[in-house]
A and B are shown apart, each in its own frame.
Chain A
């Protein structure tokens, strides 16, 4: 029966070519009852934001291992704001050094998950945030 599901976009911005982690997360979220849109590798900020809007997702999960997060994430957040879609919860994971966390939180990334974070923790976080 149709009922409200949490919809998540798992996105890989930039030229990062490794998506095993993203796929593991995507599967984990699906097993937790969420509807997960995965758009594949090498997404531009424009592609990510457009997909998020068309799919009307509740959450965007950015997965990045290339170190380009300080360049790419602000572009994504700016574009979301420009399109009036900054009410979407944005979280991130991958290789993101601690010293960059403050900056990323400032631009609106609500949570950053280290590699190896149990899926359960991410699921619980999302469910809690989406309750509001």
Chain B
């Protein structure tokens, strides 16, 4: 592992790729690795990009990264796609639209599947961000698909969140989860050469007016045609403006703290599931309790409480956390 870490610190792509696989697939060893590299880390600038499928996120990502590459040597991209609920597999096709930047020696693209983690980003995604930081990537773009809960969770991770839509979605935007409107720092109407652009722009601006404003930052609504490279410098300009805004207002630290807090919670939940819930759910006692529950003899609420009491933690809303 020492060797892997030193190669990682030198920015070797293979080492980074291997390290990411370790945190994805061999959780215990992966966590050992994370413990060793965490102290003294500096977090890079994280931009999240989200929106419905077909909005052109990958094309837009490629254009944004091209701009960043003019001033930075190394850019990391994490492209997240949903895992199939039924098969557990995933089709990771975001690289298709990033062929141009994939040639650049300073660009590292990793595709990741959500792997069915409920209600929160897979903690390994944040671990991947940290590993990229160790390998010297100062700018990281995280792309997620806006179909589940995950696209809203990306905001926990990103410093600046870009929400991308297309003109055709005009009427449907009313049904967009409110969360999507709340989390965006910059809104982009891509494929702006199509009809309906002005309507979409108007709808977005109106919906934003209804939002409680995030301090002094008014999310701009920008128009782009990613495949033609149009409107990209505006996007990049606003990204930097947002970055500066966070710095100036001291919000940078606050955001960092917020997602480290979320990461800690994710790790606790993951550990609890793995060390307590999973082994428990495979036990005979669990099965027999489940039989009683299915026959409506025992209620699941009491069963759950009794199990939780075994952890030595009091389940008491008033008194909260308490050790027995």
Do A30 and B91 touch (CB < 8 A)? yes
Do B89 and A3 touch (CB < 8 A)? no
Whether A32 touches B89, Cβ cut-off 8 Å, given contacts A4-B25, A51-B102, A55-B111, is yes
Which residues of A in the span 14-49 have a Cβ within 8 Å of any Cβ on B?
26-27, 29-40, 46-47
Do B110 and A85 touch (CB < 8 A)? no
Which residues from chain A contact B21 at a C-beta distance below 8 Å?
Answer: 56
Q: Which residue of B lies closest to A4 (CB)?
A: B25
Do A50 and B102 touch (CB < 8 A)? yes
| Cβ distance A4 to chain B, nearest Cβ, rounded Å | 4
Do B87 and A31 touch (CB < 8 A)? yes
Which residues from chain A contact B24 at a C-beta distance below 8 Å?
Answer: 2
Whether A29 touches B95, Cβ cut-off 8 Å, given contacts A2-B122, A4-B25, A35-B113, is no
Do B95 and A40 touch (CB < 8 A)? yes
Do A55 and B27 touch (CB < 8 A)? no
Q: Which residue of A lies closest to B99 (CB)?
A: A40
Do B20 and A56 touch (CB < 8 A)? yes
| Cβ distance A12 to chain B, nearest Cβ, rounded Å | 10
Do B26 and A4 touch (CB < 8 A)? yes
Q: Which residue of A lies closest to B123 (CB)?
A: A2
Asked whether B90 is an interface residue with its Cβ less than 8 Å from the other chain, the reply is yes
Instruction: Determine the distance from Cα of A34 to Cα of B92 in the docked complex, in whole angstroms.
Output: 10
| Cβ distance A23 to chain B, nearest Cβ, rounded Å | 9
Do B96 and A35 touch (CB < 8 A)? no
Instruction: Determine the distance from Cα of A4 to Cα of B28 in the docked complex, in whole angstroms.
Output: 12
| Cβ distance A90 to chain B, nearest Cβ, rounded Å | 17
Which residues from chain B contact A3 at a C-beta distance below 8 Å?
Answer: 25, 115
Asked whether A101 is an interface residue with its Cβ less than 8 Å from the other chain, the reply is no
Cβ contacts A50-67/B at 8 Å (1 or 0 each):
110111100000000000
Instruction: Determine the distance from Cα of A34 to Cα of B91 in the docked complex, in whole angstroms.
Output: 8
Do A40 and B25 touch (CB < 8 A)? no
Do A84 and B17 touch (CB < 8 A)? no
What residues make up the interface of B, taking CB atoms closer than 8 Å to A? Answer: 13-14, 16-18, 20-21, 24-27, 83-84, 86-93, 95-97, 99, 102-103, 108-111, 113, 115-117, 122, 124, 273-274, 278
What residues make up the interface of A, taking CB atoms closer than 8 Å to B? Answer: 1-5, 26-27, 29-40, 46-47, 50-51, 53-56, 83-85
The 9 closest A-B pairs by CB, nearest first: A40-B96, A30-B89, A56-B17, A4-B25, A56-B21, A33-B89, A33-B88, A37-B92, A39-B95
